[in-house]
Structure 1
Amino acid sequence: MLDLPRRLTAEALGTAMLVAAVVGSGIMADRLSSDMAVSLLGNAIPTGAILVVLITLLGPVSGAHFNPVVTLVFALKREIATRAALAYVAAQIAGGIAGTILAHAMFDLPLLQVSTTIRTGTGQWLAEAVATFGLLLTIHLGLRFRYEAIPWLVGLYITAAYWFTASTSFANPAVVIARALSDTFAGIRPADLPGFILAQVVGGLAALLLTGWLLAETKPLASPPENMKGAE
């Protein structure tokens, strides 16, 4: 395994590029079309595509978490040390904010913004819990059964979740924080962050519990004692 500084660099870089793709494609889609459905499609496809690329390339370096909930779940499974997990989360948040600023710079927008887009309510929170639950379920089952397909599984899942969840599937606290700093198509009002982040954590923990049960090794039935054999 690579040393922690290199892993943190990969996490920050990957999250920055992910957020730049999310925010940048949202700005581009909104500029090119007044049709909300077309804009959402123009936002969803690049997000799924960049995830395939980033996970494929940076997965061998850091595990390609790019998401504090993913890191939290792996920390609870003792697959990453607590100190490293905290550093991962800090790198992810910093990278996400950098990605937002980069997207703004590319489109000649003010670098520092605060979103005014309202995203709140039980439907949105449930959608975020479902989106994050599905993401973690995809990761855990993929790691067990189709490790080599993880980049595609995650990319395709997020592309689909943009459309079947009411919240358009943020599913990532670092991305939520970064998008709160963009008053564009992809933004979310800062006041709505706590509800989204809590729902994401709940969804991630629910996936951890379910996959822990689904993938638990079952002990074979003990053989009958020698003096019992043939008694039937």
Structure 2
Amino acid sequence: MTTSPPLARRLVAEGLGSFLLFACVIGSGIMATNLSQGNDAIALLGNTLATGAILFVLITVLGPISGAHMNPAVTIVVASRGELNWRDASGYIGAQFAFGILGAWAAHLMFDLPTLQLSVKARTGLGQWVGEGIATFGLILTILGTVRDRTGSVAAAVALYITAAYWFTSSTSFANPAITVARSLTNSFAGIAPHNAPAFIAAQLMGAAVAAILASWLFQKAETAS
């Protein structure tokens, strides 16, 4: 029987992972904008590749400690399945938000931008809300399906899914309530206007809930023949 690492270590892993992931998403967006000479497709490609790469690394390194959720939607689904108690889950979520925002500010400092910002980039409308719901639905389904039988492939599966979802969803796949809040605090390529963030978060949570319900049926273990 395996035991989880102490909660303090798991919270540090979640905080560190969120810090680095959010700094990468926002920092690579800033770098991509600086280098792409106004070509949004090239900027999105650079942002995508950096995000997919850091996800693979962080899940590989931190997954054995905390599960490397780095995402409140993931943590809520895991807790709802009884795989994490709600007290620990609240600590995970607090760390994801707090250290994720610090990651956004770190990205600004690295590129000599004002630390405190609010985005003015509008991201709204039914199409983008549906995109966020589908993006988060697919992410949760990817995680639960891979964890069931191919635990060693979780890092690659999540990284590849998010890489694809950046391009096939209208919203460019935030799929994470904490990073949505952090991205509302950066007036850069990755930003979202603060007043647009609540609808994105609602769509994300709805997509996560539908995926969790479907996964409980789709991935249920076969009954042992009597």
Q: Please say if 1:61 is aligned against 2:55.
A: no
Which is higher, the Rg of structure 1 or of structure 2? Answer: 1
Q: Name 1:5's counterpart in structure 2.
A: 8
Task: State the alpha-carbon separation in 2 of the partners of residues 221 and 142 from structure 1.
Answer: 25
CA shift in 2, pair 1:179/1:138, >3 Å: same
Q: Deviations over 1:192-222 (max 9, x none)?
A: 1110001000111111111101122344676
2:51 equivalent to 1:76: no
Aligned to 1:141: 145
2:27 to 10, 20, 24: 24
> Is residue 2:88 matched to residue 1:91?
no
Write the distance in 2 (CA, Å) between the matches of 1:9 and 1:179: 22
Partner of 1:108: 112
**Is 2:122 aligned against 1:118?**
yes
The normalised TM-score by structure 1 is: 0.94
Number of matched residues? 222
Cα distance, 1:39–1:215 mapped onto 2, change above 3 Å: same
Once residues 9 and 215 of structure 1 are traced to their aligned partners in structure 2, the CA distance between those partners, rounded to angstroms, is 31
> Superposed, which structure 2 residues align to 1:29-44 within 5 Å?
29-33=32-36, 34-44=38-48
Show CA shifts across 1:62-109 (max 9, x none).
110000000000010010001000110000000110000000000000
CA distance in 2 between partners of 1:164 and 1:219 (Å): 36
| 1:15 alignment counterpart | 18
Aligned letter for 1:31?
N
Query: For the residues of structure 1 that align with 2:89 and 2:225, how far apart are their CA atoms?
Result: 39
CA distance in 1, matches of 2:155, 2:205: 22
Name the % identity. 54
* TM-score normalized with structure 2 length: 0.96
| Cα shift readout 1:106-133 (whole Å, capped 9, x = no counterpart) | 0000000000000011100000000000
- What is the correspondence of 1:219-230 to structure 2 with a 5 Å cutoff? 219=223
Separation in structure 1 between the aligned mates of residue 178 and residue 161 of structure 2, nearest angstrom: 18
What letter matches 2:69 in structure 1?
H
CA distance in structure 2 between the partners assigned to 1:218 and 1:115 by the alignment? 48
**CA drift at 1:145:** 2.1
Deviation by residue 1:138-191 (Cα, 9 ceiling, x = unmatched): 101100121101101100110110000000000000100001000000000000
- Pairwise CA RMSD: 1.0
State the match for 1:210 in structure 2.
Answer: 214
Letter in 2 for 1:23: I
